[in-house]
A and B are shown apart, each in its own frame.
Chain A
Amino acid sequence: EVQLVESGGGLVQPGGSLRLSCAASGFTVSSHWMHWVRQAPGMGLVWVSHIDSNGFNRLYADSVQGRFTISRDNAKNTLYLQMNSLRAEDTAVYYCARGNTYYDFWSREYYYMDVWGKGTTVTVSS
Chain B
Amino acid sequence: DIQMTQSPSSLSASVGDRVIITCRASQSISTYLNWYQQKPGKAPKLLIYVASSLQSGVPSRFGGSGSGTDFTLTISSLQPEDFATYYCQQSHSAPFTFGPGTKVDIK
- Please report A residues at the B interface, Cβ cutoff 8 Å: 35, 37, 44-47, 50, 59, 61-62, 95, 97, 100, 102, 104, 110-114, 116-119
A-B contacts at CB below 8 angstroms, number:
67
Q: Which of B81-99 contact A (CB under 8 A)?
A: 87, 89, 91, 94-99
Q: In the complex, which range does the number of interface residues on chain B fall in?
A: 20 to 34
The B contact surface, by secondary structure, is: loop
* Of the residues B46, B50, B98, B99, contact of A110 by C-beta under 8 Å: B50
- B94 in contact with A50 (CB, 8 Å): yes
Taking CB atoms, residues of chain A closer than 8 Å to B89 are 45, 47, 112-113
Using an 8 Å CB-CB cutoff, how does the interface string of B62-106 with A read, 1 for contact, 0 for none?
000000000000000000000000010101001111111100000
Once the chains bind, are B44 and A95 in contact (CB under 8 Å)?
Answer: yes
The reply to whether B36 and A102 contact each other, CB–CB distance below 8 Å, is no
Residue in B closest to A96 when the chains form the complex, CB atoms: B43
Majority DSSP secondary structure for residues of A touching B = strand
A46 touching B34 in the complex, CB below 8 Å, given contacts A102-B49, A112-B46, A112-B49: no
Interface string of B27-64 (1 = CB under 8 A from A): 00001101010100011111001100101000000000
> How distant is A56 from chain B, measured CB to nearest CB, in Å?
14
